[in-house]
Structure 1
Amino acid sequence: MTLAFKKLLAKAGLPNTWRLHDLRHAMATHWLASGINPKVVSERLGHASVAFTLQVYAHALPNQQAEGAARILFGKEIDDQKGVYE
């Protein structure tokens, strides 16, 4: 790892053991957890398919089942802290 990269990690408050790949993974996880469309994330990462992206980053979408059920059944969003809301 280059000294310049380690300096950037320190400036960002990140562990100096992180690799560039770790930053890529963290960003992709953040995008998906923030609600960015998986197709967009997959294209940005250069993956061959959305299916591959979803397999790798499924941990970033833990509330998808609950949110989908709430939208289908109640037409509402889910608030992780409070449950279903409008």
Structure 2
Amino acid sequence: DGTRASKTEIIQYILDKYTAYKLRDFIMIGDRKHDIIGSINTGIDSIGVTYGYGSFEELRHANPTFIVDNVDQIKDILMGSKME
């Protein structure tokens, strides 16, 4: 509804709504630096995807937890032991 302007505010709203979960249970998947910055500001991991609007360089400079080139790589991260 436009009441939350920044990605950080949007992510924080979700985190505040689902308080039964730990921060490690969340991950932000995004294609722009704003997605990654929002995850960093709220203390959750992130996956930057290179197949969206943002460039690899934009994502790399934002410092996501992971950078992937396709959906199969997301699946590997989410299903793998790296996220436990």
TM over 0.5: no
Indicate the structure with greater helix content. 1
- More strand by percentage: 2
Q: Please indicate the TM-score interval, normalised by the length of the shorter structure.
A: under 0.3
